[in-house]
């Protein structure tokens, strides 16, 4: 088994990662710029030093062993840490150095995405060398990733409050009930009596919606989805009724594919929040970005 890592070990591990990323020894030749026999020898040397086999390679093809998969995951973490160390060492003269992971829910209104972009632009004017990573996830997953410290800042709709997180309201989004062009209520849409809508089948979100009461009986909810794209598909089928963000549905309404049932009565508003760890657990990079987000949204500084 390996003891303290040497320069040789690091070189051999990098070869193994390159082969695993490429999916085989022969494919990795161009990446590593060495011959296939040399790569095979290096892998064998690493396996000998580790005391276990990392991969099956030969005529049967390339495949990581169970231990090889675990070692590959560890190696990726190792080199991510090395890269972050190198980046921070190169930018020791900068005030803010590191990374910032931001999580968003999909299809935020364009006007509010512009404010997030403005906040990023403000942040980039700082004395910084920060790597941005932005991912799009469902609300429940964003919260989980925040609690696991995989995301630094999450922006979206959150239906409950976790005591260890801070929630800053950003804006409200209007949700309206729609039907598809093939639905029996399509020609009556606009000022439809809500009681009539309750008699038809609905598509509902998989997560709680405390801002709105169920617009029908539970038995009439015959489809569920965790994102608006999936809900839209169900409504467009002409079989289900359902709520969508007004800005998201607008292009479908313009094409005559969707119609709002009764925008005055079958609607609700949700508040989007910016969520982070509590202040005593936030680093200077997150604090700086939160300040720029408040400036972009015209909110008072904390």
Whole-number Cα distances in Å, 111 to 18, 116, 153, 170, 182: 42, 9, 19, 12, 32
Let me know if residue 26 belongs to a domain. yes
Residue 256 CB neighbours (<10 A): 9
> Do 122 and 259 belong together in one domain?
no
3-state secondary structure of 232: helix
> Do 80 and 200 belong together in one domain?
no
> Do 213 and 101 belong together in one domain?
no
Decide if pLDDT at 182 tops 90. Answer: yes
> Do 153 and 178 belong together in one domain?
no
Per-residue pLDDT of 39-57, as tens digits, reads 989 999 999 988 999 998 8
Domain finish residue from 71, 90, 109: 90
Let me know if residue 63 belongs to a domain. yes
Per-residue pLDDT of 97-146, as tens digits, reads 888 999 988 777 767 778 899 999 999 999 888 989 998 887 778 888 88
Phi, psi of 228 (to 5 degrees): -70, -30
Helix %, strand %, coil % of the chain (to 5): 45, 25, 35
**Which of 240, 273, 236 has the alpha carbon at shortest distance from 255?**
236
> Do 262 and 198 belong together in one domain?
yes
> Do 62 and 147 belong together in one domain?
no
Let me know if residue 210 belongs to a domain. yes
| 69: containing domain | 7-90
Per-residue pLDDT of 262-276, as tens digits, reads 999 999 998 888 999
- Considering the entire predicted model, what is its pTM? 0.61
Q: How many domains in the chain?
A: 3
> Do 252 and 288 belong together in one domain?
no
**CATH classification at residue 212:** 3.40.190.290
**CATH classification at residue 79:** 1.10.10.10
Let me know if residue 18 belongs to a domain. yes
> Do 234 and 192 belong together in one domain?
yes
Please check whether residue 143 is in contact with residue 162, taking contact to mean a CB–CB distance below 8 angstroms. Answer: yes
Please check whether residue 130 is in contact with residue 288, taking contact to mean a CB–CB distance below 8 angstroms. Answer: no
């Amino acid at each position: 088994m390996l003891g303290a890592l040497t320069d040789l070990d690091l070189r051999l591990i990098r070869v193994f990662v390159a082969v695993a990323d490429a999916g085989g020894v022969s494919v990795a030749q161009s990446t590593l710029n060495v011959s296939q026999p040399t790569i095979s020898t290096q892998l064998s040397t690493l396996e000998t030093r580790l005391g276990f086999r990392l991969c099956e390679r030969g005529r049967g093809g390339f495949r990581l062993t169970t231990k090889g998969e675990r070692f590959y995951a560890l190696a990726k973490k190792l080199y991510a840490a090395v890269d972050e160390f190198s980046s921070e060492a190169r930018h020791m003269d900068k005030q803010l150095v590191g990374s910032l992971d931001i999580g968003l829910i999909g299809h935020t209104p364009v006007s509010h995405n512009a404010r997030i972009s403005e906040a990023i632009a403000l942040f980039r004017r700082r004395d910084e060398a920060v790597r941005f990573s932005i991912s799009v996830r469902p609300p429940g997953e964003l919260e989980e990733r925040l609690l696991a410290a995989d995301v630094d800042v999450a922006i979206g709709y959150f239906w409950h409050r976790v005591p260890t997180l801070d929630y800053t309201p950003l804006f409200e989004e209007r949700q309206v009930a729609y039907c598809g062009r093939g639905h029996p209520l399509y020609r009556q849409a606009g000022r439809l009596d809500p009681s009539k809508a309750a008699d038809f089948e609905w598509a509902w979100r998989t997560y709680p919606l405390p801002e709105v009461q169920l617009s029908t009986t539970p038995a009439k909810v015959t489809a569920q989805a965790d994102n608006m794209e999936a809900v839209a598909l169900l409504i467009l089928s002409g079989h289900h009724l359902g709520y969508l963000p007004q800005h998201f549905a607008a292009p479908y309404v313009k094409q005559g594919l969707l119609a709002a049932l009764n925008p005055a009565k079958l609607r609700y508003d949700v508040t989007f929040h910016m969520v982070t760890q509590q202040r005593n657990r936030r680093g200077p990079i997150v604090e700086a970005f939160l300040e720029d987000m408040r400036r972009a949204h015209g909110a008072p500084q904390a």
